[in-house]
Amino acid sequence: MSQPQSAENKMGTMPIPKLLFSMSLPLMLSMLVQALYNIVDSIFVSMINENALTAVSLIFPVQNLIIAIAAGTAVGVNALLSRNLGERDFEGANKAAINGLFLSVLSYLATAFVGGSLSHFFLSVQTNDPQIVAYGTTYMRIITVFSFGCFLQIMLERLLQSTGRTICTMITQATGAIINIIMDPILIFGIGFFPKMGVAGAAVATVFGQIVAMLLALIMNLKVNKDIQLHFSSFRPCAATIGHIYEVGVPSIVMQSIGSVMTFGFNKILLMFTSTATAVFGVYFKLNSFIFMPIFGLNNGMVPIVAYNYGARNKKRIMQTIKLSVISAVCLMLVGLSLFMLIPDKLLGLFHASSEMLAIGVPALRIICLSFLFAGYCIIVGSVFQALGNGVYSLLVSLARQIFAILPSAYILAKVFGLHAVWWSFPIAELVSLTMTTIFFRRIYREKLENL
């Protein structure tokens, strides 16, 4: 089968700095727009009342879980597809793409069933406040039952990234996020002909933006992405291809899902003191997305380059990509550290923070941001593990950081020293992550890269 080779030739020949930033910058910009939408979404919700903000914060683990399943599966597809292109196995690349979309549909169906059935239960085990439970149940049901937009958007965008078409991904992600930002106040407060929907309006705006982005990404894959062909007429699930996808994808899914477990557990610890602390924690995640999202965009641009050049057995280009990505991520994290240290009150003020919320949140942000010093390096190297087919290393680091470090240390600090000390669990956990990431990278270098 004859196919254009521009994307894979670019990943194998273009100078690494130009290649990395040409692939990553569009993704970083679109991720920044998504981060902005996350922040704006919560700002509008906070205008309803603090309970509405708390309810959305309690649903964050569910949203994180949906993204974990979608993005983790897409990571497996991305790594396999890019490696196949590097080896010039175009039939394998097509199989990876089509089976990836099939898995996204199955994941959606399971999410819609579970989320639609257990929303009220999920909220009621966290709080007895009837208003928070009502807000959260409505929000969760909408984002799970209509999550097909999220699942398919992420997968279709990863197909574009895998073939080097990151400009297309920037357009789809930015379009979805901008639509969400526009629709938020219209649906939450009832502007024009639209009814006032409150928290439900925020959820509807979110899924509507995702569905539009999904449709746009599908069109671009069919019309622009010539390196893969999405033919479904004779499709049959391929067990071998699905196995290869989940070999990398399952550790990534579990790794990102661990974040949902950590957030749920951390919220339970904070609720021992006050629901305002939970709102602070939710706001922190919205704010840190403005720092972390560009690094995830950098990651998404880096993974296909590393995977392609590993398939092509080009050690020099792999190491150049890793070094430049780490330096860039650390610089971004230092910007975030400065903002959280210097103007935490201004950041919290965006969410109409009460005096109690400011009293808890200002020291919290200044303590948590100390973990930024090492997070950039750990995120990049963790994705290198996935690109090289060793997603288990990333899983082990994430387990150690978020389950065996953050939660136990947070609980002990809460019991012994009180609420103000809980936040130190983040810097403690990041030191654990730094140590393990470095040990695993040295091992994978010896096993897979040293003798290329």
Give the DSSP letter string of 86-102.
Answer: HTT-HHHHHHHHHHHHH
Does the pLDDT at position 198 exceed 60?
yes
Does the pLDDT at position 8 exceed 70?
no
The more confident residue out of 163 and 446 is: 446
Distance of CA 160 to the CA centre of its chain: 17
Kindly report the CA angle at 203 between 200 and 207, in degrees rounded to 5? 140
Mean per-residue pLDDT, 244-270:
87
Specify whether the CB–CB gap between 336 and 369 falls below 8 A.
Answer: yes
Q: What is the DSSP letter of 48?
A: T
Does the pLDDT at position 153 exceed 50?
yes
Kindly report the CA angle at 358 between 352 and 360, in degrees rounded to 5? 135
CB atoms within 10 A of CB 15: 10
Q: Which of 45-59, 246-260, 288-302 has the lowest mean pLDDT?
A: 246-260
Q: Which of 103-117, 151-165, 230-244 has the lowest mean pLDDT?
A: 230-244
> Interhelix angle for 372-387 vs 425-444, to 10°?
30
Locate 429 and state its tokens. Answer: 């956990």
CA-based diameter of the chain, in Å? 66
The more confident residue out of 8 and 369 is: 369
Give me the half-sphere count of Cα atoms (radius 13 Å) on the Cβ side of residue 441.
Answer: 18
Does the pLDDT at position 7 exceed 60?
no
Mean per-residue pLDDT, 241-245:
89
Mean per-residue pLDDT, 95-99:
88
As a whole number of angstroms, the distance between CA 74 and CA 104 comes to: 9
Does the pLDDT at position 10 exceed 80?
no
Mean per-residue pLDDT, 198-212:
95
Distance of CA 67 to the CA centre of its chain: 6
CB atoms within 10 A of CB 87: 16
pLDDT of residue 265: 94
Would you call 214 helix, strand, or coil by DSSP? helix
Locate 274 and state its tokens. Answer: 């006050």
pLDDT band per the 50, 70, 90 thresholds, residue 9: low
Q: What is the DSSP letter of 129?
A: -
Does the pLDDT at position 251 exceed 80?
no
CA distances from 181 to 34, 37, 312 (A): 9, 6, 42
Does the pLDDT at position 227 exceed 80?
no
Nearest Cα residue to 364 out of 408, 413, 292, 437: 413
Which positions ≥6 away from 415 have C-beta within 8 Å? Answer: none
Does the pLDDT at position 331 exceed 70?
yes
CA distances from 119 to 139, 240, 269, 364, 441 (A): 9, 35, 21, 29, 40
> Interhelix angle for 166-189 vs 275-311, to 10°?
160
Does the pLDDT at position 164 exceed 80?
no
User: Pseudo-torsion of CA 59, 63, 69, 72, nearest 10°?
Assistant: -120
For the entire predicted model, the pTM comes to 0.78
Distance of CA 417 to the CA centre of its chain: 32
As a whole number of angstroms, the distance between CA 261 and CA 256 comes to: 9
CA distances from 415 to 275, 364, 375, 378, 422 (A): 17, 17, 27, 29, 9
pLDDT of residue 133: 94
CA distances from 303 to 70, 81, 159, 202, 297 (A): 17, 11, 12, 33, 10
**How much is the mean pLDDT over the chain?**
89
pLDDT of residue 53: 92
pLDDT per residue over 55-82, tens digit each? 999 998 899 899 989 988 998 888 888 7
Mean per-residue pLDDT, 399-413:
94
pLDDT of residue 390: 82
Does the pLDDT at position 232 exceed 90?
no
Residues composing the chain: 452
Does the pLDDT at position 2 exceed 50?
no
Would you call 351 helix, strand, or coil by DSSP? coil
pLDDT of residue 94: 84
Percent of the chain topping pLDDT 70 = 98
pLDDT of residue 225: 81
pLDDT per residue over 173-184, tens digit each? 889 989 999 999
Does the pLDDT at position 12 exceed 80?
no
Locate 318 and state its tokens. Answer: 């792999």
As a whole number of angstroms, the distance between CA 368 and CA 389 comes to: 31
As a whole number of angstroms, the distance between CA 100 and CA 241 comes to: 9
Highest-pLDDT range among 232-236, 278-282, 385-389: 278-282
